[in-house]
């Protein structure tokens, strides 16, 4: 199924191709994929590591898989789906270099998946990337991760980013 989606994405990108912007002009395309680096947060006697797959944007929402590993408290590990609402206006602010805050949800995998509110604040370095602060509550613990982010154009470059993104498989 994943291969079929990748093939369809590749074909759609090829059929709908438009001429590229002249060199030196950064596209503010809302169709770019969002790629976030791994981020670590210290905890009392341990650490939490947030890993996100590439986030695709559909109908104003960047969504993708996430994984949190808590060391040495492995029973606190979780996987799920992250969805952050980013309107066209907010995306234009980010592309213009303005600090912008977004809201979203993180939903854990499995039966009775827990949904928790998430806030994210983008601090752009340029129109292609910067730092993102991701904050949410886990029990009574405030979780704050600050991964670097960058945008990847859709098409072959996005397929490469997806193939290099971590795969989050669940056990059968």
Q: Is the pLDDT of residue 158 over 90?
A: no
User: Is residue 101 situated within a structural domain?
Assistant: yes
Residue 140 CB coordination number (10 Å): 5
114 occurs within a structural domain: yes
pLDDT band at 18 (very low <50, low <70, confident <90, very high): very low
Contacts with 34 (C-beta within 8 Å, 6 or more apart), sequence order: 54, 55, 56, 57, 62, 64, 149, 150, 151, 152
pLDDT over 90 (residue 81) = yes
Give residue-wise pLDDT tens across range 57-68. 999 999 999 999
Residue 30 confidence (pLDDT):
65
- What pTM, to 2 d.p., does this model score? 0.70
- Residues contacting residue 112 through CB under 8 Å, at least 6 positions apart: none
User: What CATH number does the domain containing 135 carry?
Assistant: 2.40.128
Range of the domain at 148: 31-153
Q: Place 17 in a pLDDT band, splitting at 50, 70 and 90.
A: very low
pLDDT given at position 29: 62
Of the pLDDT bands very low, low, confident and very high (cuts 50, 70, 90), residue 32 is: confident
pLDDT of 55 strictly over 70: yes
Instruction: Kindly state whether residue 131 falls inside one of the protein's structural domains.
Output: yes
81 in any annotated domain: yes
Does a structural domain hold residue 159? no
Are 153 and 27 in contact by the 8 Å Cβ rule? The answer is: yes
Tokens for 151?
């945008």
**Is pLDDT above 70 for 5?**
no
Q: How many domains does the chain have?
A: 1
8 A C-beta contact, residue 159 and residue 14: no
Note whether residue 121 is domain-resident.
yes
């Amino acid at each position: 199924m994943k291969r079929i989606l990748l093939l369809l994405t590749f074909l759609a990108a090829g059929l709908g191709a438009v001429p590229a912007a002249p060199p030196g002009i950064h596209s503010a395309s809302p169709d770019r994929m969002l790629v976030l680096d791994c981020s670590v947060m210290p905890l009392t006697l341990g650490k939490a590591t947030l890993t996100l797959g590439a986030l695709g944007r559909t109908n104003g929402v960047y969504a993708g898989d996430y994984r949190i590993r808590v060391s040495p408290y492995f029973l606190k590990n979780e996987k799920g789906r992250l969805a952050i609402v980013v309107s066209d206006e907010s995306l234009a602010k980010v592309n213009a270099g303005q600090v912008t805050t977004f809201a979203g949800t993180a939903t854990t995998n499995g039966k009775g998946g827990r949904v928790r509110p998430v806030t994210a604040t983008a601090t752009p370095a340029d129109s292609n990337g910067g730092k993102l602060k991701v904050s949410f509550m886990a029990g009574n613990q405030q979780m704050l991760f600050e991964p670097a982010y960058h945008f990847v154009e859709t098409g072959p470059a996005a397929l490469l980013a997806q193939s290099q993104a971590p795969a989050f498989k669940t056990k059968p």
